[in-house]
Structures are given as C-alpha cells and as structure tokens.
C-alpha cells in the first residue's frame, strides 16, 4: 500500500513565508479537495495553529467542516448557491455567503435570521459567478433597501494567471476591470470591504494583484506556479513499499501488453504503488499557454525514463506504471523487501489509504 507523509512544519513554514511575501496583504487559506489531498482537518488545524483565522472555500461542505473545527473563524464561501435550503444552512452556520446577483442578494436577505454579512463576487472574465459592472447600480439600490447588512469583502477570479506575457496581460486586464467595478461601487455609496483577487499563482507571480488579501491554496503546499522561486516547500511525499525482488532474463517481457523487453539479464524490484495512488498522474495545465504545450510535446518525445528515489538516489522505473504495481531497477542499489521508494505525485489524485502526519 502506498503511504503519504505530510509535514505540519513544512506547511507552517510555507504559510509564514507567504505572509512575508504578500505583506501588507493578508493570506486567506483556500481549502478545497480535502485539503488538496492531504486531509482537510490536518491542513486547517495546522494553519489555525499558526494564527490563520480567515478561510476561503469553494464548497459548502468544506465551510461547514471548518466551522465545526473553528467556531470563531471567518469563513468565506466563494461560490454562489441559489438553492434556498443550502443558503439557509450557510447562514445558520455563520458562514459568509457569496452574492453574485441581485437575485442571490434577495434570497440571502429573505432567509437570514438577523445580521447579514456577505461576500460579493464581481465577474471580470472567469464567467462562473459574479455581478457585472453594468448591474451594480441595481444591486446598490437593492442593498440600500436592506437593513443590518454588511459587505465583508469583494473579489474576482482570474482565468489566466499562470505567467507568460499573454497570461499576465489577460490577468492585468481583469484586475483593471475589477478596479473599475470597485470604484463604481464606491461611487454608488457601497463600501466593498476587503478586496481580494489573487489565487496562489497570481499572488506569487504578480505582486500588483495582491490587493488587501490573497487566496492561497496550492501555494501552501508548495505546488503552485512560482513556488520554487518563492522558496516554498512541497508538503506531502508519497512512498511505495518494495514487495519482492525478481530477475528478468534477456528477452523476458514485463507488464501488460508485454511492452517492456529485457535487453540483458537484469534485477528489478516490484513496488506496491501505481496510478491508483496518483503516481505520475498530472492535471492539464490551467494556463493553456503555447509554451506549455510545446514543453509537454518535447517531454513526451524525449523522456526515456520515469524515476523513483531511494536513499537520495534516482532509480529508473522499468516498463509501464500499472494501476497498483510498478517495477524499479535493482541493478545498482541494495533494495530489499520492505524498503520504501519515493515517487513524484499530486496529492489531489492520490488514492493512498495511509497518511502519516509529521
């Protein structure tokens, strides 16, 4: 069975480093995908131990779980929910809802029990949620007709904030549209509260996008664009256990499809790890830059080996990676059954059953 180790110390150091980089902007941890695959409770409690008291989420279920752990924290739910039962639950748990239209503001006002705190989404190009600049006048009129309401923050979501000239131009254009919308809000007599636009990549790559706060998720795990240059550590390592050793004779084939054929006698180690554990699974780059596509093509054409690591040394993988098993070369190492081999992985895709917290 594959094993993940997750270091609380590394996560805490990343949080402190991000606070230094973003200052004077605040860092709002963005919690999703079960703490990016490392466990929501582990990530939230570690960050709370470092003083984090403002959290963002994309799903109500995550907001609710954080509320149970941290009764006093400020929780911004950054997706718009229009189902009345869900909105009622959000408000009853003192989770700050995102309002993205006049209708969603009406719904929240109708279902609240007392004071209403809201988070306003402004659409500048992402298209998922948010008020357009042209709708702000009607929104302000409705807002001013509601008693005891308070705008906690106003935000937008960048669509192409992954570096490169084209991505930067697109992001800065969205930032400009957001600034114009915020000024319109102020002209209409609305206080936008805390302004936030940057996710992890934008916070690291475009300092001008940091505003009052940044929403960081993958950067906290050291797995965002710009993480290496920023001095962030990868949080989470994956290991597979050596099950047994085998010798392949010249001409022997190995694995499904008999794709690999030994060119000479060789020793291999069978490892209890594979695609089911997230090994070498990646998601497509959200930036969709032409340079990313070229790099992926080059990698696919020139990459002859994937590697694991043992005792600080790279060990080539033999043949294809299977669903639950793979093989590594045992030619120049002292591998034996029970040894743990480290592999590159993305925690989000990891199906490992055991996480060891350090």
- Report whether pLDDT(69) > 80: yes
Residue 99: strand, helix, or coil = strand
- Report the percent of the chain where pLDDT is more than 90: 74
> Which residues have C-beta within 8 Å of that of residue 250, sequence separation ≥ 6?
262, 263, 264, 265
pLDDT digits (tens, 9 = 90+) for 214-250: 999 999 999 998 999 999 999 998 999 999 999 999 9
Q: What does 120-173 look like in DSSP terms, one character per residue?
A: EEB-SS--SS-B-GGGHHHHHHHHHTSSSEEEEEEE---SS-SSSHHHHHHHHH
Domain boundaries, the chain: 3-221, 237-357
How does residue 294 score in pLDDT terms, banded at 50, 70 and 90?
low
pLDDT digits (tens, 9 = 90+) for 11-45: 999 999 999 999 999 999 999 999 998 999 999 99
55-59, 118-122, 333-337: least confidently modelled range? 333-337
Calpha distance 153→149 (Å, rounded): 12
Domains 3-221 and 237-357 share a fold: no
Fold of 237-357: Lyase, Ornithine Decarboxylase; Chain A, domain 1 (2.40.37)
Average pLDDT over residues 281-291: 54
54-63, 113-122, 281-290: least confidently modelled range? 281-290
Q: What does 263-314 look like in DSSP terms, one character per residue?
A: SS-EEEEEEE--GGGTBT--PPPTT--HHHHHHHHHHHHH----EEEETTEE
Fold of 3-221: TIM Barrel (3.20.20)
In this predicted structure, what is the pLDDT of residue 352? 62
pLDDT digits (tens, 9 = 90+) for 77-118: 999 999 999 999 999 999 999 999 999 999 999 999 899 999
Angle in degrees, CA 218, 222, 227, rounded to 5: 100
pLDDT digits (tens, 9 = 90+) for 295-348: 544 444 444 578 999 998 999 999 988 889 999 999 878 899 999 999 988 888
What is the enclosing helix (H) or strand (E) of 102? helix 102-111
In this predicted structure, what is the pLDDT of residue 291? 54
Residue 322: strand, helix, or coil = coil
Q: What does 73-84 look like in DSSP terms, one character per residue?
A: -EEEE-S----H
Is 239:341 a contact under the CB 8 Å cutoff? yes
- Report the percent of the chain where pLDDT is more than 70: 93
DSSP tag of 235: P
In this predicted structure, what is the pLDDT of residue 301? 41
Residue 26: strand, helix, or coil = strand
């Amino acid at each position: 069975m594959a094993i993940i180790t997750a270091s609380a110390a590394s996560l805490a150091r990343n949080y402190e480093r991000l606070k230094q980089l973003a200052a004077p902007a605040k860092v709002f941890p963005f919690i999703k995908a079960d703490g990016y695959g490392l466990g929501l409770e582990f990530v939230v409690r570690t960050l709370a131990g470092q003083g984090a008291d403002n959290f963002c989420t994309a799903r109500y279920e995550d907001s609710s779980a954080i509320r149970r752990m941290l009764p006093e924290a400020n929780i911004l739910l950054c997706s718009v929910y229009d189902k009345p039962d869900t909105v009622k639950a959000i408000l009853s748990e003192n989770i700050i809802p995102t309002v993205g239209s006049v209708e969603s503001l009406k719904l929240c006002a109708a279902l609240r029990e007392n004071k209403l705190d809201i988070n306003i989404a402004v659409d500048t190009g992402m298209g998922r949620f948010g008020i357009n600049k042209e709708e702000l006048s009607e929104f302000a009129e409705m807002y001013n007709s509601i008693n005891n309401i308070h705008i906690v923050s106003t935000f937008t979501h960048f669509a192409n904030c992954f570096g490169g000239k084209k991505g930067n131009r697109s992001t800065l254009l969205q930032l400009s549209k957001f600034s114009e919308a915020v000024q319109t809000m102020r002209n209409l007599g609305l206080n936008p509260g805390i302004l936030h636009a940057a996710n992890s990549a934008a916070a690291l790559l475009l300092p001008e996008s940091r505003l009052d706060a940044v929403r960081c998720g993958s950067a906290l795990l050291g797995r965002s664009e710009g993480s290496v240059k920023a001095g962030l550590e990868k949080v989470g390592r994956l290991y597979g256990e050596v099950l047994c050793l085998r010798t392949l004779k010249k001409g022997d084939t190995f694995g499904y499809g008999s794709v690999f054929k030994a060119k000479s006698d060789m020793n291999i180690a069978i490892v209890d790890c594979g695609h089911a554990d997230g090994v070498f699974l990646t998601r497509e780059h959200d930036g969709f830059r032409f340079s990313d596509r070229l790099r992926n093509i080059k990698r696919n054409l020139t990459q002859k080996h994937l590697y694991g690591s043992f005792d600080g040394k790279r060990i080539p993988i033999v043949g294809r990676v299977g669903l639950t098993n793979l093989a590594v070369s045992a030619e120049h190492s002292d591998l034996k059954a029970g040894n743990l081999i480290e592999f590159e992985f993305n925690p989000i895709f990891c199906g490992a059953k055991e996480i060891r917290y350090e």
